[in-house]
Amino acid sequence: MKAIKIVKEGNVEIMRIPQPTVKDGHALLKVDYVGFCGSDLNTFRGLNPLVKLPVIPGHEIGATLVELGNNVATDLKVGARVTVNPYSNCGLCTACKNNRPNACRYNETMGVQRDGAMAEYIVVPIEKIIEGGQLSSKELALVEPMSVGFHAVDRASVTDSDIVLVFGCGMIGVGAIVRAALRGATVIAVDVSAEKLALAKKLGAKFTINSAEEDLEAKLHTVTQSMGADVVIEAVGRKETYLAAIAAAAYTGRVVYIGYAKDAIPFDTQFFVKKELDIRGSRNATPKDFAAVMKYLNLRTCPIEELITAIYPVEKAQSALESWLKDPGHVFRLLIEF
């Protein structure tokens, strides 16, 4: 079968590998669509410290169930459209024991610490498969990245009385914007792309700030009446936004970091104490986050076609990543179609 591999920095190859056979407790899936995410782009750029090359990327999955292994207890039927929870968990570390397996100490995410889903067929543990219901395979490929943003909103305990500022309007940031708006919060979206900010407005942001063209501090001062944001969600992973998140937070506010900053960041820690901030990390997503995203998509209010920038055939995977690298401001999600 065909598979996509990032073999070294800047180099993708289409390979022929054996089709996997189903195992006990697992199911065989025919992959329909897989999204390229920011971690895949960083792998392609040689900037992902968690990856050992070569690797098959991909963990944003829309697929069809084609075979069930033995010893599975499931209501899933052959032919069902499904997505996949792509994170592993050990069941023994403190995160797992605290019922937060998304933050498992020994997690291996598909396409990052282990081979991912950019192949014609994959075998997945039955408990990691999520039935898609009425959603199409294309829609299901959007569930995982949006669920990461949904999870950050949950980590922030967002309510309808909060002003929520989201740095970064890629797919994960979009998920945070949608979830915060669904909870009734007032959402401020910040990005350097006018196109992404326009879509953020459609998805529930009441205010937008183009930090490349506007004075972030001044605009935030006006919007929040000098108070700052009750919740700040960082979905970029840059030094500038990590620091700006602390500055933008209100006294006794909550700051949630999703993005991985690549370099060490020197903080002026006086603001941690003076503002008595709650500073939280947000990693991956939980089954209830996946379910919440799917419930939202089933409302049919999400402009799906605007979230999908382009769909590429397998053979054009290299071109897909090169196009994203060349023009990141205009890319939401790139899908590979198998």
* Annotated domain spans of the chain: 2-141+303-337, 147-281
Confidence band, pLDDT 50/70/90 cuts, at residue 218: very high
Phi-psi group of 175: left, alpha or beta (phi > 0 → left; psi -120 to 50 → alpha; rest → beta): alpha
Q: Which two tokens stand for residue 293?
A: 């995203």
Q: Which residues contact 271 (CB under 8 A, 6 or more apart)?
A: 246, 247, 277
Q: Which of 76-85, 154-163, 221-230, 257-266 has the lowest mean pLDDT?
A: 257-266
Distance CA 326, CA 328 (A): 6
- Fold (topology level) of 147-281: Rossmann fold (3.40.50)
- Render pLDDT for 100-116 as a digit per residue (tens, 0 to 9): 999 999 999 999 999 99
Instruction: Please state, in angstroms and rounded to a whole number, the distance separating the CA atoms of residues 181 and 199.
Output: 14
The pLDDT-based confidence of 328 (bands split at 50, 70, 90) is confident
* pLDDT tens digits, one per residue of 144-175: 999 999 999 999 999 999 999 999 999 999 99
For tokens 């006086």, the residue is: 270
- The contacts found for 44-51 with CB under 8 angstroms, 24 or more apart, are 44/6, 44/9, 44/10, 44/12, 44/321, 44/325, 45/9, 45/10, 45/325, 46/8, 46/9, 46/10, 47/262, 48/112, 50/112, 50/113, 51/112, 51/113
Q: Which residues contact 215 (CB under 8 A, 6 or more apart)?
A: none
pLDDT in tens, 274-309: 999 999 999 999 999 999 999 999 999 999 999 999
In DSSP terms, 188 is beta-bridged to 165, 207
Q: What is the pLDDT of residue 312?
A: 98
Q: Which two tokens stand for residue 86?
A: 């792509």
Residue 123: its pLDDT value, please? 98
Query: Could you tell me the pTM of the whole model?
Result: 0.96
pLDDT tens string 188-216: 999 999 999 999 999 999 999 999 999 99
Tell me the CATH class for 2-141+303-337: alpha beta
- Closest Cα partner for 318 from 60, 47, 4, 42? 4
Q: Rounded mean pLDDT of the chain? A: 96
90: DSSP letter: -
Confidence grade of residue 263 (pLDDT, cut at 50, 70, 90): confident
Q: How confident is the model at residue 320 (pLDDT cuts 50, 70, 90)?
A: very high
Confidence of residue 127 (pLDDT cuts 50, 70, 90): very high
Cα dihedral 207, 211, 213, 217 sign: positive
Is it true that 2-141+303-337 and 147-281 share their CATH fold? no
Question: With 80 as the cut, is the pLDDT of residue 262 above it?
Answer: no
More confident: 56 or 263: 56
pLDDT at 313 over 90: yes
- Using a pLDDT cut of 90, give the percent of the chain over it: 93
114 within 8 A of 64, measured Cβ to Cβ: no
